[in-house]
Amino acid sequence: MMEFACSLPKLSGAGGIQIRFVQTSRAFKRHANQSRSFRTSATFLREAPGGAPEKVRGQRKVFDSVDEAVADIKSGSTVLSAGFGLCGTAETIIGAMVRRGADNLHSLTAVSNNAGTAVGGGLSPLIAGGQVTKAICSFIGNNKALESRYLNGEIAIELTPQGTLAEKIRCGGAGIPAFFTPTGVNTFVQTGQIPQRLKGSEIIEPGKPRETRIFDGRIYNMETAIKGDVAILRAHKVDEAGNCQFRYTTQSFAPLMAKAAKVSIVEAEHIVPVGELKSDEIDLPGIFIDRIVKATADKMIEFKTLRKEENLEEQGQKDPALARRNRIAKRAAKELKPGFYVNLGVGMPTLAPSYLPPDANVWIQSENGILGMGPYPTEEELDPDIINAGKETVTLVPGASTFDSSESFGMIRGGHVDVSMLGALQVGANGDLANYMIPGKVFKGMGGAMDLVGNPDATKIVVLTDHVDKSGKPKIVQNCTLPLTGARVVSTIITDLCVFDVDRKKGELTLIELAPGVELDEVKQKTGAKFNVAENLGRME
């Protein structure tokens, strides 16, 4: 968790929030030669001109030493670090960068979906060692080292929705300077109200408001491309010409980042002669790879999650909290029709497939690059290269496919996914959703949630949530008071007490079902919004 305070205006009908920041004139300085200086825990400033290592066509790409391969990475560089959580991260290369030390390699801007993790690995050692001064990422999680440095003003964080981050990098590699996206409209991403750098309660560097434009009557944010000086990635097989083959969900950001960097370094589990990889086995052509090193660091699993052969209903009889979750998940399964393509958020949504019949033929999509996600693995099925969006180990069903993150979010924003299920901190009567931030208490980053709700006219957004929070306060409110994930996006709300239909245009709720044993008066008492009652009020099964 990460704490800060500020004062923010209403968004999309939300009530005002009182969160205080004291803005100061101190900011990062950009010198005429584009070098940058920054505040450190020491009493001096270091110059970091940045720039990419020299790129030499025709030289042998395979390096005998990983330390040699990273020796000319410059302080002040922008480093694109592939991987999702700890899946597909370049641990061998990162280790060599750490060995260079903060005096020799510092002031790095790191671009990665996760800026390290709570359990170490990934960018964690570079951040802990003070070598990274800015992180561009979508998710912070419970990374205490990163939290501490952010709150002390030692590192800047530019939070970017996961799908937007993938597209910014893709465009950087494709020579496209900017693009318009529906993701983040009417949120703090659009208004720039997520500070990049803090010092206690002061804003040292504010967020960047987005330029907007209307297409076909809808508002879009303009996002600019990301390019890097160096990309670091891990692949399964790489031939001596640089052609890469990835395994399963290790693709995520790897091909995108290799294309967007001036110099790309790959660590390979297997380095093979040219010709051993068949043309149709190559996921990334060698034109995008400049240096190859042997991967020597072991793969790490962030959340080893195994399948439990337990009856959910029986377990629910022993655990009231699980019983509530089961009730919500069982009702949610009715939203998943045969042949549907469905994205399930972490937590309760992942329980819904357990209540589907064996022949349901529902395809589960995970935004880190899976279509056809299966259940958690047994110990024998465990594979560190197959994880879901929550970084948990999973399996693949027959007919499943894997792909990079830009293709994954293209499916979502493009409206090809039929239903998306998410959790919530608050849901407004007009369909507003808040699920990533409680100012002063919770600030883990939005991950892919803003993208998942980015096309609510094509993808039905279903919220699964307890009716009240831990303190008994309603989570279904007339107007959201928490920062929004998306405005007017939710179509159905399923709680442990009832089911609401949401009219996003009129901004109205209609109660359509009550849970067993729940009466209308209880729902009225525990709901912080006005609602209509359906003539044929049903019961959740």
Per-residue pLDDT of the chain (541 residues), as tens digits, is 444 444 443 444 444 333 343 333 333 333 334 344 334 433 345 677 889 999 989 899 999 999 999 999 999 999 999 999 999 999 999 999 999 999 999 999 999 999 888 788 999 999 989 999 999 999 987 777 787 788 788 899 999 999 999 999 999 999 999 999 999 999 999 999 999 998 877 888 999 999 999 999 999 999 999 999 999 999 999 999 999 999 999 999 999 999 999 999 999 999 999 999 999 999 999 999 999 999 999 999 999 999 887 666 666 667 888 889 999 999 999 999 999 999 998 889 988 998 998 889 999 999 999 999 999 999 999 999 999 999 999 999 999 999 999 999 999 999 999 999 999 999 999 999 999 988 777 678 899 999 999 999 999 999 999 999 999 999 999 999 999 999 999 999 999 999 999 999 999 999 999 999 999 999 999 999 999 999 999 999 8
- Nearest alpha carbon to residue 427 among 502, 498, 324, 373: 502
Task: Please list the alpha-helical segments (H only) found in 308-445.
Answer: 312-318, 320-332, 405-413
Specify the length of the chain in residues.
Answer: 541
Q: For the whole model, what pTM was predicted?
A: 0.89
Q: What is the DSSP letter of 248?
A: G
Catalytic site includes residue 381: no
- Nearby residues of 1 by Cβ (< 8 Å), 6 or more positions away: 142, 147, 441, 442, 443, 444
Domains, the chain, in order of start with CATH, read 66-294 (3.40.1080.10), 312-539 (3.40.1080.10)
Alpha-carbon distance of 20 to 480, in angstroms, equals 19
Task: Choose, from 147, 267, 367, 513, the residue flagged as catalytic.
Answer: 367
Three-state DSSP string of 50-107: CCCCCCCCCCCCECCCHHHHCCCCCCCCEEEECCECCECCCHHHHHHHHHCCCCCCCC
**Burial of residue 214 (number of CB atoms within 10 Å: 0-12, 13-18, 19+):** exposed
pLDDT at residue number 314:
67
pLDDT at residue number 198:
85
pLDDT at residue number 5:
44
Exposure b/e, 159-197, CB count within 10 A at least 16 = b: bbbbbbbbbbbbbbbeeeeebbbbbbbbbbbbbebbbbb
Alpha-carbon distance of 457 to 232, in angstroms, equals 38
**Half-sphere exposure (CA, 13 Å, Cβ side) for 422?**
30
